[in-house]
Structure 1
Amino acid sequence: METGAKKVKIAVNGGIAFGAKLNAKQLMTLSKYMNEDEELELTTFQQLYIEIPENRKEEIIAEFESVGLACYPVGNFVKSLRTCNFCKGEEREGMPVAKELNRRIAGKPVPFTLKVAYTGCIIGCGEPMLSDIGVMKYKDHYNLYVGGKAKGKDAEVGFLLKENLKPEELYNTVDQIITIYSQEGKKRETFYKFWKRVGKEQLIS
């Protein structure tokens, strides 16, 4: 690991798959860019934060992606999708839909960090009802929740905004919500506060 270069922090994970896992090759690749006394920060949203030389950012991200790591910006962006562990299989629990939703939204700039969660059944292991935006697969359709809050004395579950959505309807609705939040949210206004301020009519207009 080179020293002295200015560093930038990025988020990485193993992508959306059966469980939140990293293989040996991925771990070895990450370790190439760490000193012996450095640590990886594991977030509550299934991401690892690592600092890499800014002048080699694109090169290193390409190397990470070549071993199957997904890379995302850190800061006021839409987080990569938090998911359940897809215990019943890819098609049954909608993993292709989760992958496509993540591809469309992760990394978009927003007024404040936005957390989106997905779960493939009504057990809710991905905790969709405690996230800013949550998706729960129910049979062959998808229910969409907004405004969940996991922390604080005012913690509450999300509001069921729409139900029985088909995949394309789900993608479009989530994208619309994020666009409205990006355009009309105040600087550093959390989605929870934004949702309380604007209400459901403005999100689904």
Structure 2
Amino acid sequence: MTSKTKVKLAINGGISFGAKLNLRQLQTIAEFLNEGEDIELTTFQQLYIEVEEDMLEIVMAKLKEVGLSSYPVGNYIKSLRTCNFCKGAEEEGMPVAIELNKLIAGRPVPFTLRPAYTGCPVGCGEPLVNDIGVMKVKDHYDLYIGGTAKGKNAKVGSLFLEQLTPEMLYKTIDKIIELYQLNGKKREPFAKFVERFGIDDIYRQVEIQ
């Protein structure tokens, strides 16, 4: 009997207060596990499961019905890593985080890209040590690029722009991602792309107005 091709799927509970899953969500995930199969928990607030390729759309629809978000695994932009919004949704900009995640998560890129968001300068979402980081400061947003948390070359990202409105934040990140998609080498991490291309040249290419 020929085994069916399986693909890996990343799942999380979306952007809300804390990283939480309810009973119905857990039961739905369990429906797609066979005896002896494991769920992989990643450091980026995601669960990995494997599903049959021809069932992918059905599985994703069922996950969505119970409030779960799902994304492709591989050379794509991961879902936005966030803080726990401990001071409240509006004060820490949860609607902006949700909109940003809709804009970028799941887009194909030369190499897996990790974006992060935090609603205040405490930085619980760790935006400074991820590829693209957003920090809400009072009523505006600071944008960092090129950070990395792994390996001996771990470093803090560079402040790219500060005091952005939500609209300018979305526009800027969208253009940076497009630049990376067009000019990044195959399997070139975003942090290395930023080093190679240069912050100043990225700024000129993005043409912020």
Q: Which amino acid aligns with 1:90?
A: A
Tell me the equivalent position of 1:191. 190
CA distance in 2, matches of 1:58, 1:202: 40
Tell me the equivalent position of 2:165. 166
- Give the total of aligned pairs: 203
CA distance in 1, matches of 2:49, 2:10: 6
8 Å CA contact retained: 1:176, 1:203: no
Paired-residue identity, %: 62
8 Å CA contact retained: 1:149, 1:158: yes
Tell me the equivalent position of 2:179. 180
Q: Which amino acid aligns with 1:68?
A: G
Q: Which amino acid aligns with 1:155?
A: A
Cα offset, 1:152, TM superposition:
1.6
1:4-60: CA deviation from partner (whole Å, max 9, x where unpaired): 432111101000000111110000001011012111001111111111111111111
Matched, 1:63 2:62: yes
SS at match of 1:52: strand
CA distance in 1, matches of 2:59, 2:84: 28
CA distance in 1, matches of 2:85, 2:35: 35
Q: Which amino acid aligns with 1:201?
A: D
Query: What is the root-mean-square deviation in Å for CA atoms of aligned residues?
Result: 1.0
8 Å CA contact retained: 1:86, 1:95: yes
SS at match of 2:195: helix
Tell me the equivalent position of 1:91. 90
Matched, 1:143 2:142: yes
CA distance in 2, matches of 1:133, 1:15: 18
CA distance in 1, matches of 2:63, 2:120: 31
In structure 2, list runs of 5 or more residues that go unmatched. Answer: 205-209
CA distance in 1, matches of 2:123, 2:109: 26
Tell me the equivalent position of 1:29. 28
Superposition misfits of 4+ residues, deviation over 2 angstroms: 3-6
Q: Which amino acid aligns with 2:59?
A: I
Cα offset, 1:201, TM superposition:
2.0
Judge which range, 6-15 or 122-131, deviates more. 6-15
Matched, 1:101 2:100: yes
CA distance in 2, matches of 1:154, 1:37: 38
Tell me the equivalent position of 1:72. 71
SS at match of 1:103: helix
CA distance in 2, matches of 1:114, 1:8: 19
CA distance in 1, matches of 2:13, 2:102: 14
TM-score by length of 1: 0.97
Matched, 1:152 2:130: no
CA distance in 1, matches of 2:10, 2:168: 29
CA distance in 2, matches of 1:154, 1:70: 32
In structure 1, list runs of 5 or more residues that go unmatched. Answer: none
Tell me the equivalent position of 1:6. 5
